[in-house]
Amino acid sequence: MEHQSSSFMVKTVKASLLDVSSNYVLGGPGGGTDPQDRSFFNPDKYKIILFDQRGSGKSTPSASLEDNTTWDLVKDIEVLREKLGVEKWHVFGGSWGSTLSLAELAFFYQDGASHLFPEAWEEYVAPIPEEERHDMILAYHAQLNSVDEETRIRAAKAWSKWEMATSRLYVDPAYITRAADDDFANAFARIENHYFINSGFMKDGQLLEKQSIDKIRHIPTVVVQGRYDVVCPATTAHALKKAFPELTLHIVPDAGHSAREPGTSKLLVEATDKFADL
């Protein structure tokens, strides 16, 4: 299958489009897409779009927080859809991507992990003075936006390594090495923290409100959730299922956060194969 790459301008921000097609894959915030993200879709049935959100991946300027909110991203998705002439597509997202998927579809989001990953937690808190550790998001926000580049990069690597270390049921050293890359860590940590500090630019529970869910009840929806996900805990999927009982929820008993864990990946591929025939 031929892969095409292009980009488009949004105000002064250039967003990267890796595969021109009619199916959209969400990721982020801040991590960017990976060509391996195509593996969840049968290329004989799907045209696949991988989209780097503002400041991430190949989008420029890298790690930028200017005009970078949930609702800016929702607008970008609509610009992308219209630019490609796509009237209807399947929306696929994991982690932050699932939240942004709900925001885009409808209307246009850590405790306990430190006990499961104590050695990773020590490295995560290391850059933060002890008197500031009562609010790690706020403390990291200060360092990730420091005027001193060394401070920013050190904090970005520690933040990114924490998430990489806690994303899989079995810690994958190769996966953690991504956090050592200055550019990746800077974009991933700064943008993710930017969204966290601003509560996803939404009020608490906004996407679970009845008036929001009512707009999408008719859309076939599958959620695949790792039982031992400490990044986006299973309680979040359970809350969505309670608000949106029409969806299909799969809890993978031997998986954490990563979509590439075997049990999770298998169910995601089954879902995309099923949706291809709708």
d(CA 128, CA 180): 18
In the residue annotation, 182 being an active-site residue is answered as no
3-state helix, strand, coil in the chain (%, to 5): 50, 10, 40
> Which residue among the candidates 21, 59, 64, 95 is catalytic per the annotation?
95
> Which residue among the candidates 16, 64, 167, 257 is catalytic per the annotation?
257
Residue entry with tokens 């940590």:
189
Instruction: Tell me if 17 sits within 8 A of 34, measured CB to CB.
Output: no
In the residue annotation, 250 being an active-site residue is answered as no
CA atoms within 13 A on the CB side of 45: 15
For 124, other C-beta atoms within 10 Å of its C-beta total 23
The H or E element containing residue 107 is none
> Which residue among the candidates 37, 52, 76, 229 is catalytic per the annotation?
229
In the residue annotation, 214 being an active-site residue is answered as no
> Chain centroid to CA 254: how far?
21
Instruction: List the catalytic residues.
Output: 95, 229, 257
